[in-house]
Amino acid sequence: MQLRKLGATDLWIAPLVLGGNVFGWTADRETSFAILDAFLEAGFNAIDTADVYSRFVPGHVGGESEIIMGEWMKLRGVRDRVVIITKGGLEMGEGMKGLGSDYLPCACEASLQRLQTDYIDVYMAHRADPDVPIEETLEVNRKLIGAGKVRYAAASNYTPAELKEALAASARGLPRYEVLEPQYNLAERGEFEGDLEKICVENGLGVIPYFALAAGFLTGKYRGTGAGAAGARSHTVSKYLNARGFKLLEAVDRVASRHGATPAQVALAWLMARPSVTAPIASATNLAQLGDILKSVSLTLTPDDMATLDL
């Protein structure tokens, strides 16, 4: 397995990033530790999380994922073997949100404490903040980088216009967003392909897409009008349960059968084969799921396979 350079940084990561959103939520502490152990032992090194994971769960306050990751790194003594990607800026409580100088440094410090580390490899703005000038946000990052608390600034969920504005500001002496984390997968291509992808390629940004499996749709477990599909009607995947979505699953199945692979492996391998993508993000809630997705790095799709999937 060859490591890939993450944009213009000096970071080299494996072709698959582990999503930490499930830690402390659908994967308890013991299971999370087992997944993290197996991931690292298999030669992978980059883990994506955020301070708000998993504040969206009733009874959670946010920081649950970072806390588990921090405990794991401390207990195992593996901080120097891991590339940590985390995010800040979304609401963590009353008055605790945004990318301004009044809050973002505090958010970063809180993440550092939960992660039990002195530095964050890639610190992302979770979403652009319309109430804060981009220059102010980048100035905060300049100070964080200067203090050794952050190695590289990055962005998630930015539109082409927002990313262009940030890059223009960095040309005036401020830190540059070196990595973009967009929503991108076989089922939802329009948001990234086009202007956003072009900006990333032209500026040499690293790209680590989230929702790489379309919230589980591309694993093939939601099909037709059966129980799986019915159970997903109120789920995020419901928007894919249509003629185009089922046609896409049929194409994924055809490619998977050619290689003796699973649909999830095909969907991840497709992203890895995209020249603009550094590495997709995928989560696992148990060791069986992890074993399945890790095999995607060994799957090489042919031009015919790529054409089959290009719907």
For residues 33, 151, 199, 266, the Cα torsion angle rounded to the nearest 10 degrees is -20
Q: Give dist(CA 183, CA 165) in Å, integer.
A: 20
Give this prediction's pTM.
0.95
Tokens of 187: 């089922």
Buried b (16+ CB within 10 A) or exposed e, 183-222: ebbbbbeebbeeebbebbeebebbbbbbbbbbbbbbbbeb
CATH number given to 4-181: 3.20.20.100
Task: Sort strands 46-48 and 83-88 into parallel, antiparallel or unpaired.
Answer: parallel
Which stretches of 90-147 are DSSP H helices? 104-115, 134-146
Q: What's the pLDDT band for 227 if we cut at 50, 70, 90?
A: very low
> pLDDT, tens digit, for every residue of 6-61?
999 999 999 999 999 999 999 999 999 999 999 999 999 999 999 999 999 999 99
CA neighbours closer than 13 Å in the CB half-sphere of residue 187 = 30
State which H helix or E strand residue 85 sits in: strand 83-88
> pLDDT, tens digit, for every residue of 142-165?
999 999 999 999 999 999 999 999
Q: How far is CA 242 from the centre of its chain?
A: 26
- Is 53 among the catalytic positions? yes
Non-local CB neighbours of 11 within 8 Å, separated by 6+ positions: 5, 83, 121, 122, 151, 152
Tokens of 139: 């100035």
Catalytic residue among 53, 103, 123, 158: 53
pLDDT exceeds cutoff 80 at 64: yes
